Each structure stands twice: as structure tokens, then as C-alpha cells.
Amino acid sequence: MASEAAVAERHATPAQIVPWWERNLAWLLVAPMIVMFVVFALLPSLTAILFAFSHIKLTRGGMQRTFIGVDNFQRALEDPIVRQSAGITLKWALVVTTVEILLGLGLALLLAHGVRGRGVFTSLLIIPIIMPPVAVSLMWFFMYEPNFGVINYLLNQVGLPSVLWLSDPNIALYAMMAVDVWQATPFAFLLLYAAILSLPRDPYEAAAIDGASRWHIFRTVTLPLLLPVLGVVVLLRLIDAARVFDKIFVMTRGGPGSSAYTTTLTVYVEAFNKYDFGYASAISFMFQVVLVIFGTIYVRRVMADYSAPAES
Amino acid sequence: MMRLLGSRGEGRSAPVSFERVCKRFGAVTAVDDLSLEVPNGEMLVLLGPSGCGKTTSLRMLAGLESITGGTIRIGETVVNALPPRARDIAMVFQSYALYSHLTVYENLAYPLRVRKLSKAEIDHRVRDVAQVVQIEELLDRKPRALSGGQRQRVALGRAIIRRPAVFLMDEPLSNLDAKLRLHTRGELKRFQRELATTTIYVTHDQAEAMTLADRVAIMNGGVLQQVGPPKEVYARPASVFVAGFLGSPPMNLLAVEATSDHGAPSLRIGETPIPAGDRLGASISRLRTNGNAAILGVRPEDVVLHRTEEPGSVPSEVFVVEDLGNERLVTLNAAGQYVVARVHADAPAEMGDRLWFAFDPGRAHLFDPLTERRVD
Amino acid sequence: MVGETTFERVAKYAVVAAVSMIVLLPVYWMVNMSLKGKGEFAARPPTLVVQQPTTENYYDLLVTQRFYLKGINSIVVAVIAATLAVSIGTLGAYALSRFRLPRNLNYHLLFTMLTIRMFPPIVTVIPLFAFYNREILGFKLFDSWLGLGLVHGFMELPLVLWMMIGFFRDIPRDMEEAALVDGDSRLAVLRKIAIPLAAPGLAATFILVFIASWNEFLLALILTGSKAQTLPIAVAGQIAQYDVKWGNMMAAGVITTVPVLILALLSQRYLTRGLALGGVTG
């Protein structure tokens, strides 16, 4: 090894050729995104935790915060509305995800052999995916309208009675779930379909030569190959469905009554109708803890193929 | 070409030196203690099988790979910590690495634009180089509209337009088809001699190495095996690896026993004793092994076939015969060891024939089985 | 693959047709109704194809109710968000795909940034609301273009990172190294090689962020008042009015949908890549 000191001495020049910002370029490039994370995720999250342990009173000039320990959490756990909304959120997430995945998967499998006009069909399915949820809500709100909405009109035409789609507490939640299914099934389909089309052909041919039945091939070949993507789609739908807000807010404001209060809606009402920031933060904090579990699994799945670059 | 040479001056070719250079990726040592001096203007070819560390060495010299230990100099400058742009080098990549979003003209002009040369100067030089590498009519095209050979020329042009201190070439011919490769190889050699710029050329193709190099540096497993002019490396391989790597087919390597026959040094292949003669005899006396084992190297062209037993010839059976047109390769099985003989196309040999082979001990090579180094 | 029976083929096309109808008919109905005047709107049975198409609903909404202002808000906020997310995300993605940071930080950083995707915004929006209502240097972020644009841009950072890492990975490593040898710094390589080569992907990513911001509801609802209110929030207010103008409501649906639809068509090729990260749904 050459004398390290001698080498270091002769290295004096590079410092002038390579300015400091270039030597630390990697850090400088990731810095803005880290700053954003700190300002918009880390600090708010920490503040939210602080809020959750506080009673907050909004005043003219700002707000007064008093530390009250776990009172907010205790209250939340006993609050029937919070409990009810947790149940509704869970029901919404599970039902909506199950239906969307099953429909999407079924459709994807049906078209696995290819279909004429595939391009047009998939383009078509992008419409609901990218439509603003508000526009979707308005569209369905009008179709659900009891007196001159098109759905009741069609029901009447075939001799069925009108239904109070969005004002019957027993129906409203499901009617809104249908809207979500309308919007998000194409999403599940497109992802699963892309995955199915990119499956390797060989196992199929091998299985077909072996004389395996369709169901057997699906269970032993397609499903295992599809499972990673299926997992990602299920998790993503669960996470997104559990946060549902816009559709319910626009169509019924969580109603009729509080029959369609999801957790996000409950937090919204507590925070921005009743301005009880502390209480709202406590509820949302518990909500976040649950979602983080699913979220972490999801991100890990999505990143399964990621590897860092080999060399600088 | 002459014009290009005539306008030289700003870029001056420089020698290159590797001094105890190491490169480790985690626990893997890619280059181990490499010391190598490349004098000014020389064309040095780094030769070896894939994964031998030759490309890593080149990339360290280019600044594309950090150096774990040791010192690399270009001219007088230690370049260890310098970014590639400060090393005054130009590189031709195996994939050519042409800028696919730029035209051929812009590709050639790129290194000059980076250096903020005047528009007129750039234009002058681009057209000059385009003429040299014969791509004048392609200047407005994008790389994807070029053939493999044309792309290679653009890559070469982009390298020489800079007039760097050192050219680095990473398997620049390996993506060309066989015929074009031969042609380009010759051109490349002419360019290098005329530009007289130090060139480090990496390849796994020994024919390329032998034809292009002033000196060849053979690497294996991250370790430099031997450096020398092609003829010398071929004539006096320094290790079993070099002996087995160079030549097509490569040198026969036989496990032999060093003995002495009535005081005269001799070798035993199987049961056959072979008098070693003076030169090989001297080598045998320098063997440092404990036992008598040695490795004998004989080039296929030095193997002589006999149809009958002669003194000092080894009995064997013909395993396979391969005709190459002007000559034939006869593979012999001598008591489990295989020996290839390169013989005249008319030499009689059939599969299963019983033949005796012999060789001139004065042209044979001896290696120590432990160190695998040459013994002279 | 294994052959299909005729029955299966017929069933397949029947399902494709049915699904297409289910997707298209509601949208068609919205467009159809938005073009009807007051008289035709109330007609029973409803006219399947508008008989006397009129733009009065659109005129009333955009001009009389001045919703064009909300549209401008939406556009400005979305442009701020997309510019921010794409520039910051692109720099980060380049660093993560070209440099090896110590301690496996490449993985951990990306992991952390991707978790943004699953943060329920309702958690952070309460502290942000409090923060936005403070005056900083005489400026309140609440109800401002910048305030909402910042949050929207942040929310879409994971999408940008994910897409751009993919695009950067597609660029041959040799090409960037050639530029380094030819005399560029890493930053110059990013500017002159990586970004031009990833330009189509960059544009598509920009569009996806734009769409996501345009569609976003919860944050826009909470963090804006009347000044910077975006189109979806304003349009949602149509329902709350005691005297519902149905024609306006349908026109509002069309107006919020059309820009997004056009943009989606432009970036369709790259849409599925973005979908893996949830793309624009939420």
C-alpha cells in the first residue's frame, strides 16, 4: 500500500475540481424530499399525537392547548358514534374490496385468452378510474334520485316500486358502496389483467399437456403466479377504501343521520364541525395505527423487486 | 488523418500507471494488487476471461468505479479521487453508449460542447473526425437509424475528437459481426498508431489482443498474470493459466513426473521416460516441489505424431479428429491425459488409431504444480 | 393457450359488452342530461337523446355562478402540485437510482417516502389546518393556491418517485457514463441525458399528479375557504342547495371530468405503471 499520507497530500487538488455540492450531490438531491416529508408528514403526525393528548380550545388569535392525558382516547373508545363508524369503515372496506377484486379478477380471467378490441375496452375502463370522485358522486346522486332519477324510472317501468336509495338508512350505505364498486372495479381489473397477460406461458402449456383441468390449472398455476400482484391490489384497495370520505360526504354527508359515518367522516365532523381538535386527533391517531399495519405490508410488497444501485 | 494529426497539440498523450491497485465489492475482491505501467503512446490490451477484473480495472482508470486501495496515475497526476471528466480520457463502450436522443453530429460535438469550444471550432472538428471515421453522410441521423458498424464508428469518432491523454476501450468490437470485426480491428490499429495516444483496450478475445497490442496484460481472478509483447507472452507463458488461455487450441498441459535417468534429467509421462535435454533439464533442476510432480506444457503445433513407437514417444489412442481445411486437430488420449496435436491436413489419423506422440523438449514449457508459475 | 369453446367466446363478448354499457351509460346519461333545458329535463319518459341541446346549464354554472374562477383555482393548484412533486420527486428518484447511500438508506428512504401513500390525510390535516391558519411573514397558507398545492404535491411524491425510478432504470447505464467521461458532472448528466431520455415518462407523471390534485377532495375541502376553493368542492356544494339545479349539477360533473379525461388519454401508455401505486384513485 502506498503511503497514505503521501496519497492524501496529492489529493489536495480534487477538492478544487469537485466542489462540495457535487461531492454531496446524492444528499442534496434527496434533501428536498426529506424536508417535505418532515414538514408535511413527520411534524404534523407528531403534532397530531400531541393534540390527541390535549384539550384544544380555538380562540380568536389561535388556540389554547391543555394537556389532559389519555382522556380523549378513553372518551373515543366509549363513544358509540366512534364505535359505529369503525364498524361501518370496516364493513365498507371489506365489502367493497371483496366485490371489486372478485369482479375484477373474474373479468381478467375471462379475457385472459385475449379479446378483440382490447385496447378500446381498457381505454374505456380508464374513464371511471380517473373521473373525479365528486363527478362520480353527482352522477350517481342524480341517478339515485327517488322521483326523477333514471334508476327508479327503470324499476317502475318493469313494475317494481321506487326505492329511496340514499335516504333509507338500510340502503344508503350499500347504494354508495355500489358507486365505489363502479369506480374502482376497473382499477382492480386493469392491474390484474396486466399481470395475467404477462404471466409466463410455459407452465400453462406444460399443465395442458399433462391434461389438467381448467380449475386445476387456475389453482395450481395461475393463482400462485398471480398472488403477489393480487396481494398488492387487495392491500391497496383496503387502504384506500378504509379512508373513504368524498363519495359519502358528497352524496349524503354521512347520512341519513349518522348511518354512513365512516371514521374519516367522524373525525371530520369532530374536527371541523365541532372544532374539537384534540378529540378528533385521538380518533384519527388510532385509525392511523391500524392503517399503518396494512400500509407497511403493502409498501414492502410493492418494493419487493427494488434493489439499490450497485455502485455510486 | 494527416490533418487530424497536424492539429494535435492541446491533448498530449500520457502514460498510465497502476500501483498496487485493489478493488473490493463487499467481500469480493475484483482486482487484487494490480501494478502495471503503461508507457506513453502504447497500446496495452487487458485480456482475460469474463469476471477476471479487466473491465473493473478499466472502469477504475476511467473514474467510473471507486478505488479501494492503491494509486492510479495518468501522467504525473494521481487520479484516484478525480471525477471522470477531470482525467482527460475518452472511452469507447461495448454498447457504444451513443446518446440516443442526439444526432450523430451532436454526439460527436458533445465532448467539445461540454468544454465550451467555439461553434466554429466544434463544427470544424466534427467534420474533420467524421471524415476520418467515414461517417460524413450520417451526421444528421439519430443513432437508432445506424447499423452496428456505423454506430461503432460514431463511438470511435466521439472518442478521438477530444484528443485525450488516454483512450479507454471496453470490448469495442464485440458487438460487430465476425467479418466487420476483422476489418475494424485493422482500422483501429492504424488509428492508434497514427494518433500515438496511450490506449488501454479490454477484451476477452485473444486474437484481438494479439493483433492489436504492443503489450498484452493477462488477468485472471482479479490477479495480473503476465505482461509482455504478444509474441513473448505466447512464447513464454508465465503461468499455467496464461499457457492454457492463449493459443487456439491452447497449450497442452500434462501432469508429468520429473526424474533422472542415469544422472540425466528426464520426464516421465505415464510409463514413458523422455530425456529432457539441456534447457528443460535446467528447468527441472529449479523445480521447488517436494515430490517429483510437474506440469508440462506443449503447444499443439509442437506435437509430432508417429505411427510406430520411437524412442521418447508416448503411446496413445486417437480420441477425435477435427479437420479445419488447411490443417487438422488430432486429440489423443494418453493414459487418461488428453493431448491435442495440430498437424498437416493430410496427416493420417482415424478415431481409435494407436499413435505415438513426441515433442521437442527444447520447445516445451515447465510449470510448478503448486504455484502454477513457469519454471525456467 | 388452451382453446376456448364457442360458448365461452360468446359469453366473453357478452360480458365485455355488458361491462362497457355499465361503465358508459351513467357517463352518457350525465352528459345527456347536462345538455337539456329546464323543460326537457322534467320530461317523462326522459328523452334518451337530448332533443334540444342547450348550453344554458354550463353558462349558468360557469359564468353566472362564476365557477370558472374555481376552475382556475383547480388548475393553478394542480400545476403547483405537479411541478413541485415532479421536480422534487425526480431529483430524489435520480439519487436513489444512481447513488448508493450508506446503511441501505436507498431502501429505507424509498420505503419511508412510499408510506406517504398510505397516510390517511385526515390525520395530518388537523395539525396542518392549525399551522396553515397562522400568519407567517404576513402570509397565511390557509385558503391559498400555494398552501393546497404544497400538500397535494407532497401527497403525490410516492407516485412520482415510483414512476421516475422505473424510467431512470430504463436508461442504459453506459450512456450516462459516456457523458461523465465526455466531461459532464452528475448533475449535468441528469439534465442533459437522463431527463431528456425520460421526458415522455416525466410528462406522463406530471399529468398523473395533475389529475390526482384536480380530483382531490378532503384536503381541498378543509384547507381552502372561498378564495382558493377548487372546482370539486364548489361543485359538491350543488347538492347542498335547497333548490337543487339538476341541470347545473350534471354540467358540473361533465366540466370536472372532461379535462381529466383528455389528460388521461394523453398519458394512457404510462397509466398502468402508475396504477401499481394507486395512481390517481384515492
DSSP result, C138-155: TEE-TT-HHHHHHHHHHH
Here the cell at position B72 is 492510479
Summarised one tens digit per residue, pLDDT across range B293-330 is 889 999 999 999 998 888 888 999 999 999 998 899 99
H or E segment to which residue B27 belongs: none
Q: What whole-number distance in Å separates Cα of residue A177 and Cα of residue A246?
A: 12
* Distance from C-alpha of B52 to C-alpha of B61, rounded to nearest angstrom: 16
CB–CB contact B94 C180 (8 Å): no
**Going edge to edge, which strands form the sheet with B293-298?**
B272-275, B264-269, B252-261, B293-298, B365-367, B374-375
CB contact B35 to A (< 8 Å): no
This prediction has a pTM of 0.88
A275 near C CB under 8 A: no
Residues 6+ apart with CB under 8 A from B132: B1, B4, B157, B160, B191
In this prediction, residue C146 carries a pLDDT of 95
Q: What's residue A273's pLDDT? A: 92
DSSP A199: S
Q: Is the pLDDT of residue C278 over 70?
A: no
- pLDDT confidence of residue B4: 40
Contact at CB, A11 and B81, closer than 8 angstroms: yes
Q: Model confidence over C143-176: pLDDT tens digits?
A: 999 999 999 999 999 999 999 998 999 999 999 9
Q: What radius of gyration, in Å, describes the C-alpha atoms of chain A?
A: 27
Sign of CA dihedral A90, A92, A93, A97: positive
CA geometry: angle at B163 spanning B157 and B168, to 5°?
Answer: 70
Question: Taking all residues of chain B, what is their mean pLDDT, rounded to a whole number?
Answer: 89
Residue A12: pLDDT band by 50, 70, 90 thresholds? very low
Cβ separation C174–B158 shorter than 8 A = no
- All residues of chain C having their beta carbon less than 8 Å from the beta carbon of residue B84 are 177, 180-181
**pLDDT over 60 (residue A2):** no
- A8-to-A312, B16, B87, C128 alpha-carbon distances in Å: 21, 19, 18, 50
User: A129 contacts in C (CB within 8 Å)?
Assistant: 275, 279-281
Q: How far apart are CA B303 and CA B339, in angstroms?
A: 9
Region C194-223: mean pLDDT is: 94
Proportion of chain A in helix, strand, coil states, percent, rounded to 5: 75, 5, 25
Alpha-carbon distance of B348 to B353, in angstroms, equals 9
Is the minimum CB–CB distance between C188 and chain B shorter than 8 Å? yes
Cα gap A86→A263, rounded to integer Å = 6
Residues in B closer than 8 angstroms to C172, CB to CB, are 95, 97
Does A25 reach chain C within 8 Å, measured CB to CB? yes
Looking at residue A305, what is its pLDDT?
75
Q: Whose CA is closest to C189, among B84, B51, B43?
A: B84
Q: Which of C173, C177, C181, C191 to mutate to test the interface with B (most CBs of B within 10 A)?
A: C181
Torsion angle of the four alpha carbons B2, B5, B6, B9, in this order, in degrees rounded to the nearest 10: 180
Alpha-carbon distance of C274 to C162, in angstroms, equals 8
Touching A: which chains, 3+ CB pairs < 8 A?
B, C
Task: In whole angstroms, give the CA distance from residue B86 to residue B50.
Answer: 29
pLDDT at A5 over 80: no
> ∠ CA(C27), CA(C30), CA(C32), 5° rounding?
105
State how beta strands C135-136 and C139-140 pair. Answer: antiparallel
- Contact state of A1 with B20 under an 8 Å Cβ cutoff: yes
Contact B167, B90 (CB under 8 A): yes
| Beta-strand runs (E) in chain C | 135-136, 139-140
C98 interaction partners in chain B (CB closer than 8 Å) = none
Q: Is A64 on the interface with C (CB under 8 A)?
A: no
- Band (A26; pLDDT cuts 50, 70, 90): very high
Over the stretch C24-52, which tens digit does the pLDDT of each residue have?
999 999 999 999 988 888 877 888 888 88
Using the beta-carbon criterion (under 8 Å), do C182 and B98 form an inter-chain contact? no
Give the separation between CA B257 and CA B9, rounded to whole angstroms: 59
Interface contact B81-A22, CB threshold 8 A: no
Residues B190/B193/B194/B195 CA torsion (nearest 10 deg): 120
Q: Could you tell me if B101 and B80 are in contact, meaning their C-beta atoms sit under 8 angstroms apart?
A: no
* pLDDT attached to residue B6: 33
Å between A13 CA and nearest CA of chain B: 9
Predicted confidence (pLDDT) per residue in A148-204, tens digit: 788 999 999 999 998 999 999 999 999 999 999 999 999 999 989 988 888 887 777
Q: Which residue's C-alpha cell is 479507454?
A: B168
Q: Which CATH superfamily is domain B2-238 in?
A: P-loop containing nucleotide triphosphate hydrolases (3.40.50.300)
Query: How far is C183 from chain B, CA to nearest CA, in Å?
Result: 4
Which residues in chain A have their CB less than 8 angstroms from residue C257's CB? 131-132, 135
Distance from CA of A61 to the nearest CA of C (A): 9
| Residue A198 to chain B, least CA–CA distance (Å) | 27
Q: Based on the number of CB atoms within 10 Å of its own CB, is A135 exposed (0-12), middle (13-18) or buried (19 or more)?
A: buried
Ramachandran class of B304: left when φ > 0, alpha when ψ lies in -120 to 50, beta otherwise: beta
Residue C223, amino acid: L
C-beta neighbour count of B161 within 10 angstroms? 25
Contacts of C38 (CB under 8 A, 6+ apart): C247
Disruptive mutation site among C70, C97, C122 for chain A (greatest number of A CBs within 10 Å)? C122
Residue C276's pLDDT is 65
Distance of residue A180 Cα from the nearest chain B Cα, in angstroms = 43
CA angle B197, B199, B203 (to 5 degrees): 155
Contact A196, A222 (CB under 8 A): yes
| For residue A7, pLDDT beyond 50 | no
Measured N-to-C along each axis, helices C105-115 and A25-37 cross at an angle, to the nearest 10 degrees, of: 30
- Closest CB to A33 among C13, C89, C120: C89
Phi, then psi, of C91 in degrees rounded to 5? -60, -45
For the record, the C-alpha cell of C75 comes out as 388548475
Give the Cα separation of C267 and C210 in Å (integer).
11
What mean pLDDT is predicted for residues C200-228?
A: 93
Note whether C174 contacts B63, CB cutoff 8 Å: no
- At residue C217, the pLDDT reads 95
Of A63, A284, A308, the CB nearest to C123: A284
Per-residue pLDDT of chain B (376 residues; tens, 9 = 90+): 333 433 334 568 999 999 999 999 888 999 999 999 999 999 999 999 998 999 999 999 999 999 999 999 999 899 998 999 989 999 999 999 999 999 999 999 999 999 999 999 999 999 999 998 999 999 999 999 999 999 999 999 999 998 899 999 999 998 888 888 888 999 899 888 888 999 999 999 999 999 999 999 999 999 999 999 999 999 999 999 999 999 888 999 998 888 776 677 788 888 888 887 778 877 887 776 666 888 999 999 999 999 888 888 899 999 999 999 889 999 999 888 999 999 998 888 888 889 999 998 888 999 988 888 898 8
Q: In chain A, what residues touch B82 (CB-CB under 8 Å)?
A: 13-14, 17-18
Contacts of C92 in chain A (CB under 8 A): 29-30, 32-33
Q: Which residues of A touch C146 (CB under 8 A)?
A: none
Q: In the complex, which subunits touch C with 3 or more CB pairs below 8 angstroms?
A: A, B
φ, ψ of residue A92 to 5 degrees: the values are -55, -50
Domain ranges of chain B: 2-238, 245-375
Chain C CB contacts of A206 under 8 Å are none
Nearest CB partner across the interface for A272, out of C222, C232, C265 = C222
Q: To the nearest whole angstrom, how far is the Cα of A100 from the nearest Cα of chain C?
A: 13
Residue B221, pLDDT score: 92
Torsion angle of C-alpha atoms C71, C77, C83, C86, degrees rounded to 10 = -100
Contacts with A138 from chain C: Cβ below 8 Å: 30, 235-236, 238-239, 249-250, 252-253
Does any CB of chain A come closer than 8 Å to the CB of residue B78? yes
Residue C230, all three cell numbers: 377548487
- By C-alpha distance, the chain A residue nearest C12 is A110
Residue A220 has a pLDDT of 85
Q: Cα–Cα distances in Å, from C12 out to A105, A226, C6, C44?
A: 14, 21, 10, 36
Domains in chain A, ordered, with CATH? Answer: 4-52 (no CATH), 79-305 (1.10.3720.10)
pLDDT of A20 reads 85
Chains that touch B (3 or more CB pairs under 8 A): A, C
Q: Show residues of chain C in contact with B94, CB under 8 Å.
A: 174
CA separation for the pair A40, C214 (Å, rounded): 19
> How many CA within 13 A on the CB side of residue A94?
6
Q: Decide which of 2.40.50.140, 3.40.309.10, 3.40.50.2300, 3.40.50.970 is the CATH code for B245-375.
A: 2.40.50.140
Same fold, B2-238 and B245-375: no
Query: Could you give the ipTM of this predicted complex?
Result: 0.91
Least confident of A64-78, A215-229, C219-233: A215-229
> How far away is chain C from the Cα of B99, in angstroms, using its nearest Cα?
6
SS3 B8: coil
Of B97, B104, B27, B6, nearest to B59 by C-alpha is: B97
Q: Ranked by mean pLDDT, which of A10-19, B261-270, B312-321, C264-273 comes out on top?
A: B312-321
